[in-house]
Amino acid sequence: MKKMPAESDRLVKRRISLLVVFAVLACLGGIISIMKGSVPIPLAEIAAALLGDSAGTHQQILMNIRLPRTIVAAFVGINLSLSGAILQAIMKNPLADPHIIGISSGAGLAGIVIMLALPEHSWLIMPVAFAGAMGAAMLIYLLAWKNGIRPIRIILAGVAVSAFFGAGISAMMIFYSDRVHSALMWMVGGLSARSWPHVELLWPYTLAGLVLALVLARQLNILQLGDELARGLGLSVERTRLLATAVAALLAASAVSVVGLLGFVGLIVPHAARLLVGSDYRFLLPAAALLGAAVVMFSDTFARTAFAPVELPVGIIMAVLGAPFFLFLLRREL
Amino acid sequence: MTLSINNLSVRIAHKDILHDLSIDFAAGKRTAIIGPNGAGKSTLLKTAAGLRTDYTGSVQLDAVDIRRLSRRDIARRLAILPQGATAPPDTTVQQLVDYGRFPYRSWFRASDAKADREAVEWAMAVTHTEQFAARQVQTLSGGERQRAFLAMALAQQPEILLLDEPTTYLDIAHQLEVMDIVAKINRDYGMTVIMVLHDINHALQYADEIAVLTGHHIAAQGRPQDILTVDMLAEVFHVKADVFVNSQGAAVLSPVGLVRD
């Protein structure tokens, strides 16, 4: 258009350059995550190993341990961040994230049951945790349904379901107190020993989640205007909300089933992205995905290396970073 | 395009809000709906726009039941600006107005970019919002914000525009500004306007047709000078009023006190 676009264009340029910055951050996070560890691997060797013309222990460590773990970290970051960003739009609530909504608690309980009661079937953890997350999401949706869906009812139903499953988790830990150690890592959320099978589980969800989220971006923008205005503009509000909830649940479920109850990523990353690029979901979703990948990769690298030889679960780092940021948001926005 | 409502009843929480209400809105006219608080004016407007579905009776757009039309179809023919519309604070006016093109877009079909751009430009020109197109909603004054939302509704290029108390919370100048824009759209483009108004004198000045909503149904409908009388104010609002003729030669109602039974 004629006069005003000068400033609108500037806004778009600003958002695109921020996306580029986040992409660079994500790449950096990936490279550093691959380089750092108990055995440092120089950059030149990484390039050689990735191209397949090197052998030896470094190549082994790189291909079997560091690279898959880094990819898992990136995918988990993307999935949790997208899930949180979508939930925040459909709930019209800045505090919505897969944890608070209660989706994670279903995965948590299911995972703990396998881990503690049937430890010999540990391969079941992923699929069962996934089913648990989806089950929790559906349960919350059914409980919140009463002539349609209201965001506030979803949140309250989520809190109730969370408390219920939380009680189950506590009970399991008391019944099997001798085996609690293995469950602890899961409760906090960690990437230790995550490898190619986990990458294989995650990538379809990450890919489908990204595509669906970007397809939904325009609808989510309209949904942010509130139900009435959105309906008036021709949006099928209930259908969009149901579809978007399903996408958010799938994303969260896939992430939780691989790394356990990793908190704060789905809450703080979409918020940080929103502060920087604004609330237009066409930009916010890719920004949250890139930033989520970068944050989890950096945090995991830090968690692995900062207190070597002790390896902290990345969930602890996320909580230490996330809680103050959460309080900052609270002071700023509410 | 005509909008007609037949035998409409709406119950909310076991309470009658509207009961057996029928009204035809004349095409190309400006109709003002007036009535006391709680009479169901907003409910009527929302039902007429297809936002509510929990009713008995029928709402028809050109003799087609609105429940048989898709939301998108409705949104291309009819736009509603509800009370207290909000948007994320960092939304620019340009983007907000562009949301008005949502019913013309879908993910499986490329939209007509030229038509979209022209509609947005037109809506911003009519509402005098171009000069702050790049500003964020949170920086706007009440009057600017209302015009921006009005522009969004106009970008839908509807044949019928529904407004729920469009001047609430605005100062006198901005009230007149919004009402003048609405009158101009109706006059120049033949858009049917149906608006809930609080201010009886706005209704007198800006409407061709008045519908009085009280006791769950339309108690009276007709020309402003026939409907908006001292007797009607006493009966419907329990207000005693005087009539003046202003410098423009128009009648003005001035409430002087409550009618005590």
Where do the domains of chain A lie, and which CATH numbers do they carry? 5-27+76-333 (1.10.3470.10)
**Strands, E, within B64-216: which ranges?**
64-65, 78-81, 160-164, 192-196, 209-214
Tell me how close the Cα of B158 comes to any Cα of chain A, in angstroms.
Answer: 11
ipTM of the complex in this document: 0.91
Return the pLDDT at B107. Answer: 65
CB A253 within 8 A of CB A134: yes
Q: Give the gap in angstroms from C-alpha B102 to the nearest C-alpha of chain A.
A: 6
Least Cα separation, residue A100 to chain B (angstroms)? 22
pLDDT digits (tens, 9 = 90+) for B162-221: 999 999 889 999 999 999 999 999 999 999 999 999 999 999 999 999 999 998 999 999
Q: Which residues of chain A have pLDDT under 70?
A: 1-8, 53-55, 147-149, 333-334
What are B's interface residues with A at a Cβ cutoff of 8 A?
A: 46, 49-51, 54, 70-76, 79-82, 85-92, 94-95, 99-100, 102-103, 105, 107, 117, 120-121, 130-131, 133-134, 153, 156
Whole-number pLDDT of residue A3: 44
Question: Taking CB atoms and an 8 Å limit, are B107 and A218 in contact across chains?
Answer: yes
Cβ B133–A278 below 8 Å, yes or no? Answer: no
Interface of A with B (CB under 8 A): 1, 3-8, 11, 147, 215, 218, 221-222, 224-226, 228-229, 231-236, 278-280
Which stretch of DSSP H or E encloses residue B16?
strand B15-25
Q: Give the pLDDT score at A54.
A: 64
CB atoms B76 and A234 under 8 Å: yes
Percent residues over pLDDT 70 in chain B: 98
Q: What is the pLDDT of residue A333?
A: 63
On whether the CB atoms of residues B5 and B22 are closer than 8 A, the answer is: yes
B75 contacts A234? CB cut-off 8 A: yes
Contact check, Cβ <8 Å, B49/A222:
no
- Give me the pLDDT at residue B109, please: 62
Parse chain B into domains and list their residue ranges: 3-228, 230-261
Structure-block tokens of residue A317: 């780092």
Give per-residue pLDDT as tens, B134-146. 999 999 999 999 9
Residue scoring higher pLDDT (B55 or A238): B55
Q: What pLDDT shows up at residue A1?
A: 42
Nearest CB to B92: which of A8, A225, A236? A8
Nearest CA in chain B to A277: B90
Chain A environment of B92 (Cβ under 8 Å): 8, 11
Interchain proximity B72–A234, CB inside 8 Å: yes
Q: What is the pLDDT of residue A334?
A: 57
Mean pLDDT of B222-231: 91
Chain A residue with minimal CA distance to B86?
A225
Residue with tokens 């989806």: A134
- B210-236 residues labelled b (16+ CB within 10 A) or e (exposed): bbbbbebbbbbbeebeebbbeebbeeb
Residue A278: which residues within 8 A CB-CB, separation 6 or more?
A11, A15, A284, B88, B90
Q: Which two tokens stand for residue B189?
A: 């483009």
pLDDT range class, residue B50, cuts 50, 70, 90 = very high
Spatial contact of A172 and A113, defined as CB atoms under 8 Å apart: yes
Query: A279 vs B80: CB contact, 8 Å cut-off?
Result: no
Say how many CB pairs under 8 Å bridge A and B.
83
Nearest Cβ partner for A233 among B89, B99, B134: B99
A327 or B51, which is more confident? Answer: B51
Q: Are B217 and B18 in contact (CB under 8 A)?
A: yes
| Chain A, nearest residue to B122 by Cα | A1
- Inter-chain touch A11–B92, beta carbons under 8 Å: yes
Q: Averaged over B49-59, what is the pLDDT?
A: 92
**Residue B97 pLDDT class (50, 70, 90 cuts):** very high
Provide the pLDDT for residue B110: 62
Q: What is the CATH number of domain B3-228?
A: 3.40.50.300
Model pLDDT, residue A104: 84
User: What span, in angstroms and rounded, lies between the C-alpha atoms of A138 and A106?
Assistant: 10
